[in-house]
Structure 1
């Protein structure tokens, strides 16, 4: 059995950092580690949770039984609250919700929100449901369906993302809904946390920043690829799966950008076969989910076929270290990250920086300097 991580001795924090998010999910700090496929495994999730943030286990790329095993691995490492990320369009989403209830996990996270029926069933089971959205209308819709909070990701964020920057999207969504809003896209330090709170958010969610920690199990060679990038080192493209996503501008991505459509279709078919084998999802369910994706995003059939690219190319890089063939989802914030702290060090740093900023802003203005 893995030794359980002991809770850190937390320093006193500024009272403004005790937000509605902390009360909703039972964490000490309003900081969320997002559920990144092939990245947010038990080690990273437990380290975040033990440090006082909300760790989200990436369950969307796992089978049902793999998810159960991973959940138990987190619980062996910490008794702090954590969540599990799932696919809202997965055919077994209700079974996964029941798994969370059985295992005592309270928070269900979604990259794309499930439908109203599923949300109601999960809520009836006692789960806190927190989907991610990229537009005001999506936030309004899921609020009407009964979710507890939303993560709002601006265009700076990594992976699938939208065109509106966080600084514009966040206040727009905060003004439109009455549920807690968590800000994502472009965050890495205490100043960003304070800025998000000032715009009405109840906390921040970070992916790239947590990927680049010593607790992340991503191979060192992959982390090195991230650390050497500047703020212009990412690109937003639809070539992978027909939906815009932000990636590091690596050689494989450059090749994909140059590749003709026929070549991309052939590669997509190969990856679809590989994903079916690895995930254990039946072909029938894959077709059903493909049809749902086609309707939701107005995709053509070739784009639906391409959707198998993302998990397989991410798996190649994030678990096997194959940066020569895999892709690397990344937020623009990668360009201002230059170290690999532990999750505890990172969270304590952010909280200390945020507290210092809040204290400075609340202090009386210094007397005007003499001429």
Structure 2
């Protein structure tokens, strides 16, 4: 089996099947957010003892190679890479992960049984993300080592079932470790997830709003100023439910007619084509792959293919008027920009203290069957909706 040996757990207060499987100190995962989860954020997360996931969907293969090398130059701790199973060069990216001894491969869409098998044979831990019980069962049967289940509170493409309902359903449905996502930002959430039987939690927005995050400061300010009611779900970006901050772009997409939507989609598609070097045929193919079985208009198909450009406009260029800002509902209850280490340590401390109060015996490994976990910092605010 390839891969670096897991580090000693030391004085980590929360040990779960996730920490044992991946070799991290704490049962926390920083999600692979496009244009956000780069080497700096991932390495800071890994150094803090959690699992950082590098976002590769917005990178070319050479860029991914450089990003992996940069993370490895910053930390010896385990980390992961998020992959698109339907990408045209998916096989090359899998080969790169194996050659570079990356510990975890995560997927936004379910990878095939063959792809899972290839990664597992090379010693790579496979953790697909799912949004339904049936999908969790499928990937677990195909050999996935764990599943990350996101409830409707999560940012980006999301479902309709709340995490508090979906998470225990998945825990009961599969025998592999389950990581909860959607609505987590502090130790109270981590403690709750562990009580549901999860092996840990994943957080995106909370890690986006840290000092190590490379998101431009004006964009972070928009997130910090948001109330819970400022986060919406729209299908106007790419035809699929997408949770994000309300913005000028979202308003324009929701109010524009078909002709205006098509022109906007063509403009963004042309920009993405220039950036990525993809052909129009390849972009349309990717758009169809991203539609998840839904019938999309031509404008929606183009937007589905170049949604990364809409995200890049905000998350890289700082253009809140021309981009989209994916956001979990927790953006409405976060009002600080701590360091990543403070997020991880504060979350774990708070969860451990709460579980101790509940008599959960968090110093010992959890019993077989249904594990526990841990996320965010004690600086959670209470803000009126």
TM over 0.5: yes
Shift of 1:301: 4.3
User: Aligned runs of 1:27-42 on 2, under 5 Å?
Assistant: 27-42=24-39
Q: Distance in 1 between matches of 2:258 and 2:228?
A: 29
The residue aligned with 1:277 is 274
Q: Which residue of 2 aligns with 1:218?
A: 215
2:302 is the counterpart of 1:305: yes
1 CA distance for matches of 2:280 and 2:150? 31
Q: Comparing both chains, which one has the higher relative contact order based on Cα–Cα distances under 8 Å and sequence gaps of 6 or more?
A: 2
- Structure 1's unaligned 5+ residue stretches are 1-9, 364-371
1:291-346 C-alpha deviation (Å, 9 max, x unpaired): 4334x322224232220342111000111111111110000001111111101011
How far apart are 1:290 and its partner, in Å?
A: 3.2
SS of 1:114 mapped into structure 2:
coil
Query: TM-score, normalising length from structure 1?
Result: 0.91
Quickly say closer, same or farther: Cα 1:233–1:11, change in 2 above 3 A: farther
1:286 aligned residue: 283
Other-structure match for 1:178: 175
Deviations 1:89-108 (A, max 9, x none): 10111110110111111211
Structure 2 counterpart of 1:369:
none
* Counterpart position of 1:164: 161
Question: Cα offset for 1:282?
Answer: 4.1
5+ long unaligned stretches in structure 2? 1-8, 361-385
**Aligned partners of 2:238 and 2:112: how far apart in 1?**
22
Residue of structure 2 equivalent to 1:338: 335
The whole-number CA distance in structure 1 between the counterparts of 2:228 and 2:350 is 22
Preserved contact between residue 264 and residue 306 of structure 1 (Cα < 8 Å): no
Residue 354 of structure 1, CA deviation: 0.7
Contact 2:283–2:305, Cα closer than 8 Å, also in 1: no
Work out whether residues 63 and 280 of structure 1, in 8 Å CA contact, stay in contact via their aligned partners in 2.
Answer: no
Q: What is the CA distance between 1:284 and its match in structure 2?
A: 4.2
**Counterpart check, 1:106 vs 2:103:** yes
Distance, in Å, in 1 between the alignment partners of 2:234 and 2:214 is 26
TM-score, normalization: structure 2? 0.88
> 1:361, CA displacement in angstroms?
1.1
Distance in 2, matches of 1:69 and 1:299, equals 37
Cα pair 1:36 1:58 within 8 Å, conserved: yes
Equivalent-residue separation in structure 1 for 2:348 and 2:324 (angstroms): 32
C-alpha spacing 1:309/1:290, structure 2 compared with 1 (3 Å): closer
Deviations 1:37-80 (A, max 9, x none): 00001000000000000000111110000000011111111111
Judged with a 3 Å threshold, the aligned counterparts in structure 2 of structure 1 residues 285 and 123 are, in CA distance, closer, same or farther, namely farther
- The 1-side partners of 2:289 and 2:209 are apart by 34
| Residues 153-172 of structure 1, C-alpha deviations (whole Å, 9 max, x = no match) | 00000000000000000011
